[in-house]
Structure 1
């Protein structure tokens, strides 16, 4: 499963914001965790939930 979370960091470089991708369910990989925004990080944590976070790719 692939899910996307949009970070609230719109700019000329990120356009409407950094897109963070979460791949997997029971075991997940987070690709481009985005900005250090509490709401964005909470959204990622909620999606990963109780599953195993295998890797974070930047």
Structure 2
């Protein structure tokens, strides 16, 4: 019985470990997605400002 209990405990620990690993991977993906969207938005706004600036210079 004692060996059976220890195996159950180890399985629960690995489940918790896998849960935390999946959580970390998901948060990494979310952070990467937010960074990519922020960078793309910054570059888009930068290009828009550059085009407006050049248009003002041309006028």
The TM-score normalised by the length of structure 2 is 0.24
More strand by share: 1
Higher relative contact order (CA 8 A, sep 6+): 1
The structure with the larger Rg is: 2
More helix by share: 2
The TM-score normalised by the length of structure 1 is 0.24
